[in-house]
A and B are shown apart, each in its own frame.
Chain A
Amino acid sequence: MDLESLLPTLLGLAWLLPLASFAVILFAGPRLGNHGKGAAGVATAAIVGSFVLSLFAFISWVAQHPVHAVAHGDHGGAHAAADPTHGSGDHASASHATATGHEPGHDTGHGEAAHGEANHAGSPVHYSGDWYTLYEGGRLKLSIGWYVDALTVLMFVMITFIATCIHVYASGYMHDELHDITDHEVHLADGSHLHRPGRFHRFFQALSLFCFSMLGIVIAGNLAMVFIFWELVGICSWFLIGFYYERKSASNAANKAFIVNRIGDFGMLIGLMALWGALGTLHFADSTGPDGHARPGLFSLIRPPVAGHGQWVPDGMVKFAAAEKVGAVLRSHADDPRAAVEQVEAKVEDWRDEGYGRWLLLVAGLGIFCGCIGKSAQFPLFVWLPDAMEGPTPVSALVHSATMVAAGVYLVGRFYPVLTPDALLVIAYVGAITLFIAATIALVANDIKRVLAYSTVSQLGYMMLALGVGGWLAGLFHLVTHAFFKSLLFLCSGSVIHACHTNDMRKMGGLAKVMPWTSGTMLVGCLAIIGAGIPFLDIGLSGYYSKDSILAQALLFARENPSHSILFYAVAGGAMLTAFYMFRLWFMTFAGQPRDHHVHDHAHESPPVMVYPLVALSILAVVAGWTLPGGFGIANMIEQARPAGTGGIELGGLLFSAFTVPAEHASHAHDIHVTASLTAFATAAAGVLLAALMYVWGIIPPAMVASAVKPLYTFLANRWYFDEIYRFLFVLPVLGVSRLVSGTDKGIIDRFIEGLAWGAKQVAGFDAWLDRTLIDGLVNGTASATYSAGLELKKLQTGQLRQYVMFIALGTVAIFVLAGLLFRSSFAG
């Protein structure tokens, strides 16, 4: 069986299994097992099945497209017109550069200098197709389809693995929901606490639906499908955050998440409309139309193979943007439509050179990115993620660290060919701002989950920044490694919360002895996130490799564009802040003396069902970045999926003054690599040291630092007042408008309607009176008049014989007289 049909089948099944689990739990949830305990089994079985299938697909892929270090020289132009279905995976690693001491983990072969032109490799190996066409007509084709390349397979494996660990973890963590619960955070009207039945199965139902939606985004072959599952993921997140919906805080957090996401989706719709309106298609890859002609996809339109996959504005966009000129040409040739069309086609090239359509392409890219801002909690739409910690910890681990928030980064990575360099720079700045703000807030947060939430936001900023400065591989690599160690960190925090029954770190301390497994795995996670490793030996935890590549690319970008060096400093400074607050968290929780003996006494290690996932994830947090000899590694696998035409130098200058996006492989240049890794090490070490000074050895008391910079501390502790600003800027005006509208409706419209009704009633009353008096009166009057007439006429019948005779006689006389008067003739001939 060839990959082209095997992969869609495997991945499609893996995608649909959680949906089946959702359906089963939806209809039979409470009946599964004791109090619905079986729901966990069903969901876990489904996601394990998905993992197995994904693994199988992964193995098949690797068998057919061996992962090994790809020589950068092979990005050369020989494959400019490569057939899209054949990838560059068959290339042997022709020119492995001589060993520079770089151990597995780095691409070899830096022989080539940066390419001067935008002439890069042919399309990566990918398979695309449609399962089901919802609608096909004219320019529009809406379908459920797939786009499978190395990145897709890798993401599948990652998501299903993490989801499996979390399903197992949650089946232990959520055992409270198997019986009735008294929720102490909910106060009823009479002051008592809420007493409610448990909803264990609902949790797994939503979790299954979420997995289905997330995998749908990953496998999607066109933007419309992405959008559908984008929204679906949002809904699942809403439900999971608001799982304890009786708590006002939880339901508010869920609404906030959904609404803020929706704001981002508004921009995404604009981007979608720009793309479809100008290009007429939303598919990523090429497909065949109903008439047999090839329909180019977005990637081929914007980076056509004929030009070496260089990015240009496609004809459709040029014509869309130059609509006035097109109209003028058509009008001048109104008599001959064919000539008019030819004329337009001839002029397209000139118009493109004049720059028509570039802004449209930029807007399309930025529009799609708006959706990513919302979904990946970037500035300014990051306010929902910290509040999303109201949900149970497994939700935070799965949804808000590893998968859903990663969907935005994934989409940027998938959509990379379409993004113009200016859009990329905007993305980079947004990421930089985000990572800085979030890191600073995490410095002073006391809730363990809040720290991790802001850490997530900050790391997402890292990824966006990486993608923005041209580090496509770096950003996606960090996405994968971050998924592993962030979910690990969340699960460990869940374990701590489960033991201490509190989120507040100020009540924790000295838990390392009590919870060895948790503290050990959390230490691994913290080391991973700060990128701990030995620079010169290039050995480190997973975060080491990914963070290094980000730093390298940022440094390269800063060197190429000195005016944008702030980006590098942001990365470096962020690294230090990250190290500081992560170890602050660890030290406050596990090291030192217990701050609250009550909490400490009751703390206990989590049950094995919760520890096993921690161990599994920590193992992965360590090894995920390693590249085996021979080249097999996550980074190289992602590299297989590099979109055609990217990875080289791009020139920007539409939005900003002219700048250069450097080629990514140039970041592996020795000097840059060394500088970057040293910077990373130094900043991380400094951060850990500072945290130790403050929280372990107590040399610098935190309280003193806080009081020394009290305004700054307050500012950070209040999360930069973002919530308050938003409330003032957006929430209150909307509420005011809604109050106004509601008042109008009640006061004016309702009054008007009631007035109309009152008027109708009056008319009805009048009509009733008319009916009663006139019509009924008429009828009754007629009847009574007839009756009286009858009564009067009755008097004629006296029974008197003589009177009757009299009447006969008089009547006869009268008749004859009348006849004589009327007919005026004699009585007899």
Chain B
Amino acid sequence: MMNFSLAPSILPPGLTMPASVGMIPLFAANPFTEPVGVIHYLIVGAVLFTAGIACMTLKRNALGILMGIELVLNGANINFVAFSSSYLRAEGAPTLGLDGQVVALFVILLAAAEAAVALAITLNFYNNHATVDVDRADDLKG
């Protein structure tokens, strides 16, 4: 059995071996033939989330930070949708169902609202300081 195993000392003991499809781990299986599971979506969501955080951390442009925020929210949305979908799980497995989709919907709405306000703030800042460089916005420096 080819088991992918991380070093036990690193992993918390609670972590178990990943399930395998016919003794092959799912994410090592042929992606063209095997159906995807929740894990795939989670990976995508994680990547988006991390990219969003990295964007927020990295970008000096205020709008770049806003874009990072959008990425973060989208990563979360992907997770919600993944958990709500009944097609990504085995037949009859429990999911979040409709609730997940509704939550993701609200997230989208709130993201829109937040983007509007954030943009207004950024434009205000731009009008007053003639720059969108957030490194210049250090008036609250201690």
A–B: direct contact at CB < 8 Å: yes
Which chain A residue shows the least CB distance to B142?
A797
The answer to whether A826 and B137 touch across the interface, beta carbons within 8 angstroms, is no
Across the interface, which residues of A come within 8 angstroms of B142, CB to CB?
794-799
Across the interface, which residues of A come within 8 angstroms of B57, CB to CB?
802, 805-806, 809
The answer to whether A801 and B134 touch across the interface, beta carbons within 8 angstroms, is yes
Question: Which single member of A798, A824, A827 contacts B141 (CB below 8 Å)?
Answer: A798
B35-47 interface bits toward A, Cβ cutoff 8 Å, 1 = contact, 0 = none: 0000000000000
Task: Give the contact stretch, choosing among B7-15, B84-92, B106-114.
Answer: B7-15
Question: Which single member of A799, A809, A824, A827 contacts B13 (CB below 8 Å)?
Answer: A824
Query: Is the CB of A332 closer than 8 A to any CB of chain B?
Result: no
Query: Is the CB of B56 closer than 8 A to any CB of chain A?
Result: yes
Query: Is the CB of A825 closer than 8 A to any CB of chain B?
Result: yes
Query: Is the CB of A733 closer than 8 A to any CB of chain B?
Result: no
Across the interface, which residues of A come within 8 angstroms of B58, CB to CB?
802
* CB-CB under 8 A for A799 and B12, given A805-B53, A805-B56, A806-B57: no
Query: Is the CB of A759 closer than 8 A to any CB of chain B?
Result: no
Query: Is the CB of B34 closer than 8 A to any CB of chain A?
Result: no
8 Å CB interface, A781-829 against B = 794-802, 805-806, 809, 820-821, 824-827
Query: Is the CB of B48 closer than 8 A to any CB of chain A?
Result: no
Across the interface, which residues of B come within 8 angstroms of A820, CB to CB?
12, 14
Question: Which single member of B12, B56, B139, B141 contacts A821 (CB below 8 Å)?
Answer: B12
A799 to B140, CA, bound (A): 5
A424 to B60, CA, bound (A): 132
Which chain A residue shows the least CB distance to B64?
A802
The answer to whether A826 and B140 touch across the interface, beta carbons within 8 angstroms, is no
Question: Which single member of A805, A809, A825 contacts B14 (CB below 8 Å)?
Answer: A825
A799 to B139, CA, bound (A): 7
B115 to chain A, nearest CB (A): 16
A215 to B12, CA, bound (A): 117
Which chain A residue shows the least CB distance to B53?
A809
Question: Which single member of A794, A801, A826 contacts B65 (CB below 8 Å)?
Answer: A801
8 Å CB interface, B40-81 against A = 53, 56-60, 65
* CB-CB under 8 A for A799 and B56, given A824-B13, A825-B14: no
Query: Is the CB of B135 closer than 8 A to any CB of chain A?
Result: yes
Interface centre among A794, A800, A821, A825 (most CB of B within 10 A): A800
The answer to whether B60 and A802 touch across the interface, beta carbons within 8 angstroms, is yes
B113-142 interface bits toward A, Cβ cutoff 8 Å, 1 = contact, 0 = none: 000000000000000000000110111111
8 Å CB interface, A245-270 against B = none
8 Å CB interface, A128-154 against B = none
A810 to chain B, nearest CB (A): 9
Which chain B residue shows the least CB distance to A795?
B142
A804 to B53, CA, bound (A): 11
A799 to B141, CA, bound (A): 4
A794 to B59, CA, bound (A): 24
A795 to B141, CA, bound (A): 8
B126 to chain A, nearest CB (A): 15
The answer to whether B14 and A799 touch across the interface, beta carbons within 8 angstroms, is no
Which chain A residue shows the least CB distance to B139?
A799
Chain A binding site: helix, strand, loop or mixed by DSSP? loop
Across the interface, which residues of A come within 8 angstroms of B59, CB to CB?
802
* CB-CB under 8 A for A824 and B14, given A802-B65, A805-B53: yes
Across the interface, which residues of B come within 8 angstroms of A806, CB to CB?
57
A683 to B88, CA, bound (A): 164
The answer to whether A800 and B12 touch across the interface, beta carbons within 8 angstroms, is no
Across the interface, which residues of A come within 8 angstroms of B15, CB to CB?
826
A185 to chain B, nearest CB (A): 94
Which chain A residue shows the least CB distance to B12?
A820
A806 to B58, CA, bound (A): 9
Which chain B residue shows the least CB distance to A801?
B134
A825 to B57, CA, bound (A): 31
Which chain A residue shows the least CB distance to B69?
A805
B35 to chain A, nearest CB (A): 21
Which chain B residue shows the least CB distance to A822?
B12
Which chain A residue shows the least CB distance to B54?
A809
A820 to B14, CA, bound (A): 9
Which chain B residue shows the least CB distance to A791?
B142
Which chain A residue shows the least CB distance to B11?
A820
A473 to chain B, nearest CB (A): 119
The answer to whether A799 and B137 touch across the interface, beta carbons within 8 angstroms, is yes
A360 to chain B, nearest CB (A): 103
A49 to B19, CA, bound (A): 138
The answer to whether A824 and B53 touch across the interface, beta carbons within 8 angstroms, is no
A816 to B139, CA, bound (A): 32
Which chain B residue shows the least CB distance to A793?
B142
A664 to B137, CA, bound (A): 135
A820 to B10, CA, bound (A): 11
A799 to B56, CA, bound (A): 15
Across the interface, which residues of A come within 8 angstroms of B53, CB to CB?
805, 809
Across the interface, which residues of B come within 8 angstroms of A797, CB to CB?
140-142
B60 to chain A, nearest CB (A): 7
Which chain B residue shows the least CB distance to A821?
B12
Which chain A residue shows the least CB distance to B138?
A799
Which chain B residue shows the least CB distance to A812?
B53
* CB-CB under 8 A for A800 and B138, given A805-B56, A806-B57, A809-B57: yes
Across the interface, which residues of B come within 8 angstroms of A827, CB to CB?
14
B13 to chain A, nearest CB (A): 5
A805 to chain B, nearest CB (A): 4
Across the interface, which residues of A come within 8 angstroms of B13, CB to CB?
824
A796 to B138, CA, bound (A): 12
A798 to B134, CA, bound (A): 12
Question: Which single member of A794, A800, A821, A826 contacts B134 (CB below 8 Å)?
Answer: A800
Which chain B residue shows the least CB distance to A807?
B57
The answer to whether A826 and B14 touch across the interface, beta carbons within 8 angstroms, is yes
A800 to B142, CA, bound (A): 11
A764 to chain B, nearest CB (A): 45
A825 to B14, CA, bound (A): 5
A636 to chain B, nearest CB (A): 123
A802 to B59, CA, bound (A): 8
Across the interface, which residues of A come within 8 angstroms of B12, CB to CB?
820-821, 824-826
A641 to B56, CA, bound (A): 133
B12 to chain A, nearest CB (A): 5
A170 to chain B, nearest CB (A): 101
A733 to B139, CA, bound (A): 96
A795 to B12, CA, bound (A): 35
Question: Which single member of B16, B56, B65, B138 contacts A798 (CB below 8 Å)?
Answer: B138
B95 to chain A, nearest CB (A): 14
A819 to chain B, nearest CB (A): 10
A787 to chain B, nearest CB (A): 14
Across the interface, which residues of A come within 8 angstroms of B139, CB to CB?
799
B16 to chain A, nearest CB (A): 8
Across the interface, which residues of B come within 8 angstroms of A795, CB to CB?
142
Across the interface, which residues of B come within 8 angstroms of A805, CB to CB?
53, 56-57, 65
A491 to chain B, nearest CB (A): 109
Which chain B residue shows the least CB distance to A813?
B53
A827 to B140, CA, bound (A): 37
Which chain A residue shows the least CB distance to B60?
A802
Across the interface, which residues of A come within 8 angstroms of B141, CB to CB?
797-799
Across the interface, which residues of B come within 8 angstroms of A802, CB to CB?
56-60, 65, 134-135
A802 to B54, CA, bound (A): 10
Q: Which residues of B contact A (CB under 8 A)?
A: 12-16, 53, 56-60, 65, 134-135, 137-142
Residue contacts A-B, CB under 8 angstroms, 27 given:
A795-B142, A796-B142, A797-B140, A797-B141, A797-B142, A798-B138, A799-B137, A799-B138, A799-B140, A799-B142, A800-B134, A801-B65, A802-B57, A802-B58, A802-B59, A802-B134, A802-B135, A805-B53, A805-B65, A806-B57, A809-B53, A809-B57, A820-B12, A820-B14, A824-B12, A825-B12, A826-B15
Q: Which residues of A contact B (CB under 8 A)?
A: 794-802, 805-806, 809, 820-821, 824-827
**Other A-B pairs, 8, CB within 8 Å; known A800-B138, A820-B12, A827-B14:** A797-B141, A799-B138, A799-B141, A800-B135, A802-B134, A805-B53, A809-B53, A824-B12
- In the A-B complex, the 9 residue pairs with the smallest Cβ-Cβ separation, listed nearest first, are A799-B138, A797-B142, A799-B141, A826-B14, A794-B142, A805-B56, A801-B134, A820-B12, A799-B140
